[in-house]
Amino acid sequence: MSGRSAGTGGSPFAPHTADETAAMLDALGVDDEAELFDIPEAVAFDGEFGIPQRDERTVRADLRDTFARNDDLTEFLGRGHYSHYVPAVVDDLSSRSEFLTSYTQYQPEITQGFLQALFEYQSILVELTGLSIANCSMYDAAAALAEAALLSDRVRSTSGSTVLVPEDLRDGKRGTLDNYVDGSDLTVETYPYADNTADLDALADAVDEDTTFVYAETPTVTGAIEPDLAAIGDLADEHDALFCVGSDPVALSLLEEPASVGADVVVGEAGALGLPASYGMGLGLFACSEEFLRQVPGRLVGKSEDADDRRAFTLTLQTREQHIRKERATSNICTNQAWVALRAAMHAAYLGPDGLVGLAEDCVRDAASVAASLDALDGVEAPLDDRHHFREFTVGVDDAPGVAAGLEERGFAVHVLDDETLQVCVTDLNVDAADDLVAAVAEVTA
């Protein structure tokens, strides 16, 4: 291998032999690559970052050691980042380099495979939401919510400028929304929750002619299934506000179809399918009704025909996008989460409708049964509301931080919401450890 860049401390991924490099330099009439650079002396850098080159094995070993510093805890964590068991075949197929190392389908003729996969992803979301358009991804649920609010600003002819969101919203969603609307005329206001879902009376008071967007979640951030979606949709509709529902594809397999309760837009975390726990990396679900076709943010794949009149897919309606419309684009998004969308579609197709519904049903039953077990303990109350739950629920204890610390010592991670409230999320990945969790809570609270 002598003569390769790698052998001389260069980039191991620059394949030039020394002879090739010499021949290329010679052809260009220069002695070395530095002569090709047109960088004024005043701003030139000497190349010394102080980062040593390491071989592959060393890097892998170092990083294995780094990650081994994470404590091995059984996580009962959710609140917007959910993971379910992802079958090995999804890892395998999605990791094929033909998918992983390709990019946006600017040349549809040579990227039919990915285009079709994205078209299938869009179609699955259309079925789950009941809305007729789904884009091929936003960054995450927070960005999708923020983009939906901006959409309302573009499509509502009314003078309204208030975006209404639940008071109990994940900080990451609220914070991202606040930043996205900062450059628009919109202002964000909240409506209260009662019993961990929308307080319908208070919401009715809050909605007025200035309201342009109403956002409701099901399940909510504490896992409660929203019982009043249709009524919320009616409120929004009466005031000509856009109604946006936040959910995820597993919950949508079982819960009321958003279109049937009047949703104009559905957003959420589609990485609940296909994505293992990944420290918050997500997949922004974005679907909306047909009337907003020209105002959708992000990429859309459509069906067309090729010169032989065979079916073909292509990115379409691109005049909405930044590379054509520049400052008048519907969004600044370019690179999205396509590969995660591919995985979500694979996972959905692997499960099929019965698998999806079964998984969703387990999310309901397991949450109820673990809550009941906790509730049976002295000094523990679960859930803290009268709702049905999906995956997660709140738990009342005397000293929540203390209980959580005790659980951590015993190998479990749960959420602490305040001094007296914990939150526990149960999925197929941790349900087998739920009895142990309950026993640990009993021990710690005793």
Partner 1 sequence: MNYDQARYGDDERNEPLLSEKDSTALDPGEGSALPDDLTRDSLELPGLSEPELARHYTRLSQMNWSVEAGPYPLGSCTMKYNPSFADAVAADPNAAVHPDRDPETVQGNLELLHGLQEYLATIGGMDAVTLQPPAGAAGEFTGIAVAKAYHEHHGNDKSEVIIPASAHGTNFATAAMAGYDVVELPSGEDGRVDVEALEAAVSEDTAALMLTNPNTVGLFERDITEIADMVHDAGGLLYYDGANLNALLGRARPGDMGFDIMHYNVHKTFATPHGGGGPGAGPVGVVDELAPFLPRPRVREARSASNGDGERSDPSERDADDTATAADGGALTGHDHDHGHTDDAAQDDEYELFDPEHSIGKVHGFSGNWLVLIRAYAYIRRLGDEGLLDASAKATLNANYLASLLDMEVPYGPFHHEFAATAGDRDAADVAKGMLDYGVHPPTTKWPEMVPEAMLTEPTEVENKRSLEDLANAFNEAVADTDEELHAAPTKTTARRVDQTSAARNPRLSWHALGEAQRASENASGE
Binding site for ligand PLP (CB under 6 A): 334-335
Contacts of 429 (CB under 8 A, 6+ apart): 83, 84, 85
Q: Which does 289 bind (CB under 5 to 8 A by kind): partner 1, ligand PLP, none?
A: none
Q: Tell me whether residue 275 or residue 377 sits nearer to partner 1 (CB atom).
A: 275
Q: Tell me whether residue 107 or residue 335 sits nearer to ligand PLP (CB atom).
A: 335
Q: How far is the CB of 341 from partner 1 (least distance, A)?
A: 9
Q: Which does 351 bind (CB under 5 to 8 A by kind): partner 1, ligand PLP, none?
A: partner 1
Q: Which does 349 bind (CB under 5 to 8 A by kind): ligand PLP, partner 1, none?
A: partner 1
Contacts 24+ apart (CB under 8 A), 84-92: 84/250, 84/272, 84/273, 84/359, 84/427, 84/428, 84/429, 85/428, 85/429, 86/274, 86/275, 86/276, 86/343, 86/347, 87/347, 87/350, 89/346, 89/350, 90/274, 90/343, 90/346, 90/347, 90/350
Q: Tell me whether residue 235 or residue 301 sits nearer to ligand PLP (CB atom).
A: 301
Do the strands 415-418 and 421-425 form a parallel or antiparallel pair, or are they unpaired?
Answer: antiparallel
Q: Which does 133 bind (CB under 5 to 8 A by kind): ligand PLP, partner 1, none?
A: partner 1
Assigned token pair, 190: 């909240």
Q: Which does 61 bind (CB under 5 to 8 A by kind): ligand PLP, partner 1, none?
A: none
Angle at 124 between CA 324 and CA 212, to 5 degrees: 60
CA distance 390 to 246: 14
Using the structure block, give the residue that is written with the tokens 């897919």: 313
Q: How far is the CB of 92 from ligand PLP (least distance, A)?
A: 27
Q: Tell me whether residue 63 or residue 334 sits nearer to ligand PLP (CB atom).
A: 334
Nearest to residue 247, comparing CAs of 80, 384, 379, 410?
A: 80
Q: How far is the CB of 25 from partner 1 (least distance, A)?
A: 7
Q: Where are the alpha helices (DSSP H) in 336-431?
A: 338-375, 400-409
Q: Tell me whether residue 105 or residue 162 sits nearer to ligand PLP (CB atom).
A: 105
Q: Which does 24 bind (CB under 5 to 8 A by kind): ligand PLP, partner 1, none?
A: partner 1
Q: Which does 301 bind (CB under 5 to 8 A by kind): partner 1, ligand PLP, none?
A: partner 1
Q: How far is the CB of 107 from partner 1 (least distance, A)?
A: 6
Q: Tell me whether residue 187 or residue 319 sits nearer to partner 1 (CB atom).
A: 319
Q: How far is the CB of 348 from partner 1 (least distance, A)?
A: 7
Q: How far is the CB of 299 from ligand PLP (least distance, A)?
A: 11
Rg for the chain (alpha carbons), in Å? 26
Longest dimension (CA), the chain: 84
Q: Which does 10 bind (CB under 5 to 8 A by kind): ligand PLP, partner 1, none?
A: partner 1
DSSP label of 226? P
CA dihedral 233, 234, 237, 239 (to 10 degrees): -120
Q: Tell me whether residue 353 or residue 379 sits nearer to partner 1 (CB atom).
A: 353
Q: Tell me whether residue 79 or residue 156 sits nearer to partner 1 (CB atom).
A: 79
Nearest to residue 82, comparing CAs of 220, 218, 253, 270?
A: 270
Q: How far is the CB of 265 from ligand PLP (least distance, A)?
A: 23
Sign of torsion over alpha carbons 433, 415, 191, 131: negative
Q: How far is the CB of 378 from partner 1 (least distance, A)?
A: 22
